[in-house]
Amino acid sequence: MQGYLRSDGRKGIRNVVAVVYLVECAHHVARRITAGLEEDVHLIGFGGCYPNDYAAMMLERLTTHPNVGAVLLVSLGCEGFDRAELARKVAASGRPVETLVIQQRGGTRTTIEAGRAWVEEARARIAATPRVPMGVDELVVGTICGGSDSTSGISANPAVGRAFEQLVDAGAVTIFEETGELIGCEHVMAERAITPELGQELVGAVEKAERYYRTLGHGSFAAGNAEGGLTTIEEKSLGAYAKSGTGPIHGVIKPGDIPDHGGLYLLDVIPDGEVRFGFPNINDNAEAAELMACGAHMILFTTGRGSVVGSAISPIIKICGNPETYARMADDMDVNAGRILHREATIAEVGDEIFGLVQRVAAGELSASEAMGHQEFVLTYKTFEPIGPACLPLAAPNLPVPPTTSA
């Protein structure tokens, strides 16, 4: 396995040009710049016209993600996003970066032309990025469940949990998330924390999620979950929780925090403070973006109903827990964990299969969603406070990249 070496010492498993719209009004121009080049030119962005510290931090983390080799910012011109500051941060990371302001460039056509010319040149430049040996202990792997049903918690999720245990044993960083889908599991989970103080932080994070969702009127529970046999949020949680395996929990992080020790981390995705800006994560890709902002090179995505999404920047590996769904949608799936339900494979065997696939995708093999060109991406408004001192017992006194620096 080899990685693309970046100036901060991290290594990427992909080397893409990120084209970034800084407001919805620049989205079309940015998309046309990427047209036909999507294999290694990925589109991300923020739709809002008004500035938000979280969104600025997210785009900084994503444009300096190890899988990204060069960055083109596309601005309409009058939006509130601090484009100069983002460009400075990307430049400081040693990556080629350019900013195109549509209102200064003469409009849609001329900006698309300029953008495509820059991207072509950038691709040629980053093709020379040095590749160096990379170990499993340098990987950051996230997990999400999406389109869950009753089978997810029996087959796909415990198999991912098993793969997570193997990754942690090999020294990798693993991240599970969606505290709103751990409601009911908080006290069992807290017993796995490496310190009692961290255990309290885990419970606090889930309690915050419950308060938040209570204000919104219902849990992180889609109609399809019930159609797939899940009845309550705590039943869904019990299944989602299985993705974390059974090993010790080493920390709680928030979007943009990048763990500096191998281990298992919970990503707290629920905004701090009073409820504002609406739903915490409006869909699965909002969670994928946050995992990537924490450094995830790839994401293990479990599904029962049959999600098809992929992601820009970091490949998504699809693990299907429901054998009937797998039979209908095999093209979209990387792993058939439904075999566990039919007693054709054990959780340990499917866990081994996932662990092997993680290493092959890290080495360059395309996942199913990646090969089909899926690059969904979404980023919305949020507010976070920095994590408390008990959240990362293993961390050095100063986090290498504290979450508030971009505020």
Partner 1 sequence: MSGATDPRLLQLAEGDNVLITTMSIPAGEELLVDGHAVELASAVSLGFKVAATDLEEGTVAVRFGMPIGRTTTAVSRGDVVHTHNLESLYLHTHARGEE
- The nearer residue to partner 1, 148 or 406, going by C-beta atoms, is 148
203 binds partner 1 (CB under 8 A): no
Helices H, strands E: what count in the chain? 14, 14
Which amino acid belongs to residue 327?
A
Sign of the CA dihedral running 24, 28, 34, 40: positive
Nearest approach in angstroms of CB 306 to partner 1 is 13
Strand pairing partners for 73? 20, 99
Nearest approach in angstroms of CB 244 to partner 1 is 14
Buried b vs exposed e over 178-190: b needs ≥16 C-beta within 10 Å? Answer: bbbbbbbbbeebb
Cα–Cα distance for residue pair 8/61, rounded to 1 Å = 12
Q: Which member of 210, 257, 268, 370 binds partner 1 (CB under 8 A)?
A: 210
Nearest approach in angstroms of CB 4 to partner 1 is 41
Cα–Cα distance for residue pair 173/169, rounded to 1 Å = 10
Residue window 152-191: x/- pattern of binding to partner 1, with contact defined by CB under 8 A: -xx----------------------------xxx--x---
138 binds partner 1 (CB under 8 A): no
Helix (H) or strand (E) holding 370: helix 368-371
Cα–Cα distance for residue pair 73/87, rounded to 1 Å = 8
Cα–Cα distance for residue pair 136/138, rounded to 1 Å = 5
Nearest approach in angstroms of CB 205 to partner 1 is 15
CB under 8 A: which stretch of 83-91, 101-109, 129-137, 234-242 binds partner 1?
A: 234-242
CB under 8 A: which stretch of 40-48, 52-60, 94-102, 231-239 binds partner 1?
A: 231-239
- The nearer residue to partner 1, 239 or 310, going by C-beta atoms, is 239
Residue window 277-316: x/- pattern of binding to partner 1, with contact defined by CB under 8 A: ---------------------------x------------
322 binds partner 1 (CB under 8 A): yes
DSSP 160-202: HHHHHHHHHHTT-EEEEE-GGG-TT-HHHHHTTBSSHHHHHHH
234 binds partner 1 (CB under 8 A): yes
**Strand order across the 298-303 sheet:** 251-253, 263-267, 173-177, 140-145, 298-303, 316-320, 335-336
326 binds partner 1 (CB under 8 A): no
Total site size for partner 1, rule CB under 8 A: 33
193 binds partner 1 (CB under 8 A): no
- The nearer residue to partner 1, 268 or 370, going by C-beta atoms, is 268
Which amino acid belongs to residue 3?
G
207 binds partner 1 (CB under 8 A): no
Cα–Cα distance for residue pair 314/316, rounded to 1 Å = 7
The angle at the Cα of 306, spanning 304 to 309, to the nearest 5 degrees, equals: 125
34 binds partner 1 (CB under 8 A): no
- What letter would DSSP give residue 98? E
Q: Which member of 88, 214, 328, 360 binds partner 1 (CB under 8 A)?
A: 214
- The nearer residue to partner 1, 82 or 235, going by C-beta atoms, is 235
233 binds partner 1 (CB under 8 A): yes
329 binds partner 1 (CB under 8 A): no
Nearest approach in angstroms of CB 368 to partner 1 is 22
195 binds partner 1 (CB under 8 A): no
Contacts of 209 (CB under 8 A, 6+ apart): 179, 180, 182, 183, 220, 270, 280
Q: Which member of 75, 150, 285, 336 binds partner 1 (CB under 8 A)?
A: 150
Cα–Cα distance for residue pair 89/55, rounded to 1 Å = 15
Q: For binding to partner 1 (CB under 8 A), which residues are involved?
A: 149-151, 153-154, 183-185, 188, 210, 213-214, 217-219, 221-223, 226, 228-229, 231-235, 238, 304, 322-324, 341-342
